[in-house]
């Protein structure tokens, strides 16, 4: 028995907002969990402080599954990003505590390593094809074996995934949501040209990925997937919004380009049909948004029945705590696919010291007991929270669209 003595939420903004839960036990062991929902941070803070933490005090920190079920079923109002992120933060912190008590890196408790490390992909972006490919060449020179390419679209002022100041892509901005303008027609003309040039310049020994970011209709996505077939992408991500999972049937009928989806999903129910009908090839659910490591393992085991592999979300608005959880989880599952690795800022890495290391295109979680990540609370306090919003997206005629 390792009784939970206290728990608190730490809100900090080292370059961008992060919400972290810290749970401490009576024998002085603590665990950390990521509770960040980009653009809705305070909703999770309130959910944790008002509705979750009072129910944790006095419980046995070892009872991870029971606490998960208690928080999931006990809420009555199940599912949703805020609820499942709060549960995720508790789950990650409890796994951190359990592994620390065992004196083992978490992956050893999850079944041990299935491979030498987690294959990761970097993000290369540019205003035009030339700039995008030169960014990609930098990552290849650093040893990356996989790179996501996002490029400006001729005729559009901005597009998803492309930074204007060559800083790392961070979509949340303070002040009210920025309004982006989108044209699917211009985008659909541009992407095949990007990947034709990429294969010409970068060759075939590098995995190439692309994120459409929920912006197409099924037939438009089918056309893009078909147009991209000659360039053998590792995956085409978020081709269409996935509330209606059967939308992917149409894409599947027309193309063999592998499909990835799931970063916005928060329970196994959001992806059950996509997996059992083999409408996708990679499931992108992340520990922080999909109920933690406990649910991530259930999703991965279900996906394995249908030869669907993992491809966890790993953008900079998921903290190094989630990255660490993803690496322990990824190392331990047989149907691991790839892990997104978008470098956090130096100030973020100082607030969240961690033991994961990049080597030769792979990320390894390290051998420290637990998750191998911590939060420097004093330093965290020096970066006060600032309300921030993700952008919104409209078509050129003003129609509200998916960002
Ligand atoms: C993106 C994210 O990393 C990805 O694949 O979809 O950058 C996403 O836009 C952000 O996580 C939203 O907060
Ligand atoms: Mg994405």
DSSP character string of 95-114: HHHHHHHHTSBHHHHTT--S
390 ligand 1 Cβ < 6 A: yes
Enzyme catalytic residues: 160, 213
Q: How far is the CA of 80 from the centre of ligand 1 (A)?
A: 18
The gap between the terminal CA atoms of the chain, to the nearest Å, is: 46
Element (H, E) at 74: none
**Which of 36, 125, 159, 211 gets mutated to test ligand 1 (max ligand atoms within 8 A of its CB)?**
211
402 ligand 1 Cβ < 6 A: no
Superfamily of domain 109-368: Enolase-like C-terminal domain (3.20.20.120)
Atom of ligand 1 at shortest distance to CA of 237? 5
171 ligand 1 Cβ < 6 A: yes
Q: State the Cα–Cα distance between residues 302 and 150, nearest whole angstrom.
A: 31
The CATH number of 4-105 is which of 3.30.70.260, 1.25.10.10, 1.10.3720.10, 3.30.390.10? 3.30.390.10
Predicted pLDDT at 166: 66
Q: How far is the CA of 202 from the centre of ligand 1 (A)?
A: 25
Q: How far is the CA of 260 from the centre of ligand 2 (A)?
A: 9
By alpha-carbon position, which residue is closest to atom 1 of ligand 1? 315
| pTM of the shown model | 0.98
Q: pLDDT digit string (tens) for 294-305?
A: 999 999 999 999
DSSP character string of 199-233: HHHH-SSSEEEEE-TT-S-HHHHHHHHHHHGGG--
263 ligand 1 Cβ < 6 A: yes
Could you say which DSSP state residue 247 is in?
H
CA 196 vs CA 193, 227, 313: distances in Å: 5, 10, 26
Indicate if the alpha-carbon torsion angle 228, 231, 232, 238 is positive or negative.
Answer: negative
Q: State the Cα–Cα distance between residues 322 and 257, nearest whole angstrom.
A: 28
211 ligand 1 Cβ < 6 A: yes
315 ligand 1 Cβ < 6 A: yes
What are the CB-based long-range contacts (under 8 Å, 24+) for 67-76? 67/91, 67/94, 68/291, 68/292, 68/294, 68/295, 72/291, 75/51
Q: What is the CA radius of gyration of the chain?
A: 20
Q: Across 76-219, where does the E strand assignment appear?
A: 118-126, 146-151, 173-174, 179-182, 207-211
Rounded to the nearest integer, the mean pLDDT of the chain is: 97
Atom of ligand 1 at shortest distance to CA of 390? 13
Where do the domains of the chain lie?
4-105, 109-368
Cβ atoms within 10 Å, residue 138: 12
pLDDT tens across the length of the chain (403 residues): 999 999 999 999 999 999 999 999 999 999 999 999 999 999 999 999 999 999 999 999 999 999 999 999 999 999 999 999 999 999 999 999 999 999 999 999 999 999 999 999 999 999 999 999 999 999 999 999 999 999 999 999 999 999 877 667 788 999 899 999 999 999 999 999 999 999 999 999 999 999 999 999 999 999 999 999 999 999 999 999 999 999 999 999 999 999 999 999 999 999 999 999 999 999 999 999 999 999 999 999 999 999 999 999 999 999 999 999 999 999 999 999 999 999 999 999 999 999 999 999 999 999 999 999 999 999 999 999 999 999 999 999 999 999 9
Pairing label, strands 4-12, 309-310: unpaired
Q: Residue 58: phi, psi to the nearest 5? A: 95, -15
């Amino acid at each position: 028995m390792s009784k939970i003595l206290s728990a608190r939420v730490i809100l900090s903004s080292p370059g961008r907002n992060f919400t972290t839960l810290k749970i401490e036990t009576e024998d002085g062991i603590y665990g950390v969990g990521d509770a960040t929902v980009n653009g809705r941070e305070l909703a999770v803070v309130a959910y944790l402080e008002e509705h979750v933490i009072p129910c944790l005090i006095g419980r046995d920190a070892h009872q991870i599954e029971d606490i998960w079920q208690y928080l999931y079923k006990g809420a009555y109002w199940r599912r949703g990003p805020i609820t499942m992120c709060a549960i995720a933060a508790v789950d990650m912190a409890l796994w951190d505590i359990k592994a620390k008590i065992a004196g083992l890196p978490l992956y050893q408790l999850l079944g041990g390593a299935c491979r030498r490390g987690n294959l990761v992909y970097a993000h290369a972006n540019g205003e035009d094809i030339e700039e995008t490919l030169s960014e990609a060449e930098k990552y290849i020179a650093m040893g990356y074996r996989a790179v996501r390419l996002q490029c400006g679209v001729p005729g559009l002022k901005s597009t998803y995934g492309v930074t204007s100041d060559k800083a790392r892509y961070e979509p949340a901005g303070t002040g009210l949501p920025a309004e982006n303008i989108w044209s699917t027609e211009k985008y659909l003309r541009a992407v095949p040209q990007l990947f034709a040039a990429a294969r010409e310049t970068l060759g075939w020994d590098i995995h190439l990925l692309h994120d459409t970011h929920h912006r197409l209709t099924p037939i438009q996505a089918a056309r893009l997937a078909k147009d991209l077939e000659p360039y053998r992408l590792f995956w085409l991500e978020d081709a269409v919004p996935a509330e209606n999972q059967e939308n992917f049937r149409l894409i599947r009928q027309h193309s063999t380009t592998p499909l990835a989806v799931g970063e916005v999903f928060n329970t196994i129910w959001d992806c059950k049909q996509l997996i059992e009908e083999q409408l996708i090839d990679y499931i992108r659910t992340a520990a922080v948004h999909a109920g933690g490591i406990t649910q991530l393992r259930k999703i991965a085991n279900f996906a394995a029945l249908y030869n669907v592999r993992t491809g966890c979300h790993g953008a900079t608005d998921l903290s190094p705590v989630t990255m660490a959880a993803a690496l322990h989880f990824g190392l331990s599952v047989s149907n691991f696919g790839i892990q997104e690795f978008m470098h956090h800022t130096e100030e973020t890495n100082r607030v969240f010291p961690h033991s994961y290391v990049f080597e030769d295109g792979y990320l390894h979680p390290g051998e420290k007991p637990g998750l191998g990540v911590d939060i420097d609370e004093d330093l965290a306090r020096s970066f006060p929270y600032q309300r921030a919003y993700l952008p919104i997206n409209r078509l050129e005629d003003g129609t509200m669209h998916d960002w």
